[in-house]
Amino acid sequence: MDARLTDEQDLLRRSIREFAETELRPYVMEWDEAQHFPRELLPKFAELGLMGIQFPEEYGGAAMSAVDYCICIEELARVDPSVCLSVAAHNGLGAAHIFMFGSEAQKQAYLTPLAAGEKLAAWGLTEASSGSDAGAMRTTASRDGDGWVINGSKQFITHGKYGDIIVVMAVTNKERGSRGISAFIVERGTPGFRAGKKEDKLGMRASETSEVIFENCRVPAEQMVGAEGQGFINALQVLDAGRIGIAALSVGLAQGAYEAARRYAFERRQFGQPIGTFQSIRAKLVDNATRIEAARLLTYRAAAMKDAGQRMSLEAAMAKLYSSEIAVRAAEDGVQIHGGYGFVKDYPAEKYFRDVKLTTIGEGTSEIQRLVIARQLLDSEK
Ligand SMILES: Cc1cc2nc3c(=O)[nH]c(=O)nc-3n(C[C@H](O)[C@H](O)[C@H](O)COP(=O)(O)OP(=O)(O)OC[C@H]3O[C@@H](n4cnc5c(N)ncnc54)[C@H](O)[C@@H]3O)c2cc1C
C-alpha cells in the first residue's frame, strides 16, 4: 500500500478542513449545549459531496474512494466529532445498507435524495435488550398479504427522530435465528412508525440519538432490502465498512484534541516558561502524535483494502479498536495538559473528552472488536 496521499486527496483534505473551520467551529459549543443537530447544513454538506461520499454519480453521489471517505470524516471530526458522527452514520449505515444490498429501484428512489441532502438516513439494529448480541433482537416483521407488518422498538438510533428513512432489521423467521432476520426501508410518516425518547447524552450531543417504535407498521413487500433472511448477515457487512468510518472519526477527533493541547502547551506559562518545554508534557504530545499517525495508517490500510475489493473485516476491526482507544488517550491527555482549563467549557479539551467515549462503544464496543479479531486471528489456529 502506498501511504502517500495524492494531490487530489491533499486538496480534498484542505477543502473539508476549511469548511469545518468556517461552518462548524464557531457553533460547536452552542450545538453541544442545545443538543442541536444542524440539519440546516445538509444542503452545504451535499454540495461538498458529504451526503453521498462513496456512492456513484448516477445516484447523485460523489463517487469518492474509501480512503477519500476517511479524509472527509477525519476533517469533520477534528472540529466537531458529533456532527461528524451524524455524517458517518448517514453515509456508512443507513445509506450504505441501501447502496450495498438495495434493488436498483430502491437505489434510484432513496440514494438520490439522500446524496442530495434532501433526506437523512437512520439505521436500526440495536434494541434495548440486544446491543452487542444484536442477533437476539425481538422486533418482528410478519407477512401480511403483499406486505410486512413490523412490531417492536430500536434503541440508540442516530437520527431516530430527525431521519427521513430508516433501514430497520427485524425477525421474519424465528426458527432460523440470525438467518431469519430481514431488513426493511421505512419512511418517516408511515403509520405505526414513530420516534420515542431522545437521549440526553454525555457527548456527541449535536448528533441526535433516539428510540424508534414500530406498532403494526405496515410496509409493502418491495421495501425489503436484500433477500429475505439476509438482513443480519448484510448488517454485519455494513458494520465492517462502517467501522472504518468510526476509526477515521477517532483519528480526526484525536488529531483535534492533540492540536488543541499542543497549542495550549505553548501559550500557557508556568515556572517562567511554556509548559510545552517540560519533558513530561512533551512526551505526552509526542506519544499522542505517534499513536495518531499509526492509527491513521491502520485506518487507511483497511480503507485501501475496501477500495481494492478485498475482504477487510479483520483490518477494519483492528483499525476501529486501535484508533478509538488511542483517541481516548489523546483526549484524556488533552484535558491533563490543559490542567484546570481542561475541565471547563471555555477550551475545547473537555468536549473532545466527552465525545471520544462513543468511539469505543458505537458500531461494536472494543470488547466486541477483540472478539472479531480473535475469531479471525486465533480460531483459525485451532
Ligand atoms: C450515540 C450512539 C449512537 C448509536 N447509533 C446507533 C445506530 O444508529 N444504530 C444502531 O443500531 N445502534 C446504534 N447505537 C448502539 C450501539 O451500537 C450499541 O450501544 C453498542 O453496540 C453496544 O451495545 P449495548 O449498548 O447494548 O451494550 P451491551 O452489549 O449491553 O454491552 C455492555 C458491556 O458488555 C460488554 N460485552 C457485551 N458482550 C460481550 C462479550 N461477548 N464479551 C465481552 N464483553 C462483552 C460490552 O463490550 C460492553 O462493555 C448507538 C449508540 C450510541 C451510544
How confident is the chain (382 residues) per 10-residue block, as mean pLDDT?
85 98 98 96 97 97 98 98 98 98 97 97 98 97 97 98 98 96 98 98 98 98 98 96 96 98 98 98 98 98 96 96 98 98 98 98 97 92 61
Ligand 1 atom with minimal separation from the 93 CA: 8
How confident is the model at residue 382, as a pLDDT?
59
C-alpha cell at 310: 478485498
The answer for residues whose C-beta is within 8 angstroms of residue 322's C-beta and 6 or more apart is 247, 294, 295, 298
Residue 154: which of 205, 199, 90, 98 has the closest Cα?
199
| 3-class secondary-structure state, position 165 | strand
Query: Does the C-beta of 35 come closer than 6 Å to ligand 1?
Result: no
Query: Does the C-beta of 157 come closer than 6 Å to ligand 1?
Result: yes
How confident is the model at residue 2, as a pLDDT?
67
How confident is the model at residue 4, as a pLDDT?
82
How confident is the model at residue 381, as a pLDDT?
63
Q: What is 227-250 written as a DSSP string?
A: STTBHHHHHHHHHHHHHHHHHHHH
Asked if residue 42 lies in contact with residue 117, where contact means CB atoms within 8 angstroms, the answer is yes
Pocket residue to mutate for ligand 1, from 32, 129, 156, 168, most atoms within 8 A of Cβ: 156
User: How many A from CA of 81 to the centre of ligand 1?
Assistant: 19
Ligand 1 atom with minimal separation from the 367 CA: 47
Asked if residue 303 lies in contact with residue 67, where contact means CB atoms within 8 angstroms, the answer is yes
How confident is the model at residue 357, as a pLDDT?
98
Query: Does the C-beta of 110 come closer than 6 Å to ligand 1?
Result: no
Tell me the CA distances in angstroms from 31 to 117, 138, 216, 356, 359, one per residue in order. 20, 34, 35, 17, 20
User: How many A from CA of 125 to the centre of ligand 1?
Assistant: 10
Point out the residues that are catalytic: 363
User: How many A from CA of 360 to the centre of ligand 1?
Assistant: 9
Ligand 1 atom with minimal separation from the 125 CA: 11
Query: Does the C-beta of 156 come closer than 6 Å to ligand 1?
Result: yes
- Using the structure block, give the residue that is written with the C-alpha cell 428510540: 211
Query: Does the C-beta of 365 come closer than 6 Å to ligand 1?
Result: yes
User: How many A from CA of 276 to the centre of ligand 1?
Assistant: 38
User: How many A from CA of 317 to the centre of ligand 1?
Assistant: 15
Asked if residue 274 lies in contact with residue 266, where contact means CB atoms within 8 angstroms, the answer is yes
d(C-alpha 75, C-alpha 12), whole Å: 10
d(C-alpha 102, C-alpha 224), whole Å: 8
Asked if residue 108 lies in contact with residue 185, where contact means CB atoms within 8 angstroms, the answer is no
How confident is the model at residue 1, as a pLDDT?
67
d(C-alpha 111, C-alpha 125), whole Å: 20
Dihedral of CA 244/319/207/261: which sign?
negative
| 3-class secondary-structure state, position 172 | coil
Tell me the CA distances in angstroms from 195 to 97, 161, 208, 215, 346, one per residue in order. 21, 5, 11, 11, 34
Asked if residue 343 lies in contact with residue 244, where contact means CB atoms within 8 angstroms, the answer is no
Ligand 1 atom with minimal separation from the 199 CA: 1
Q: Count CB-CB contacts under 10 A for residue 356.
A: 28
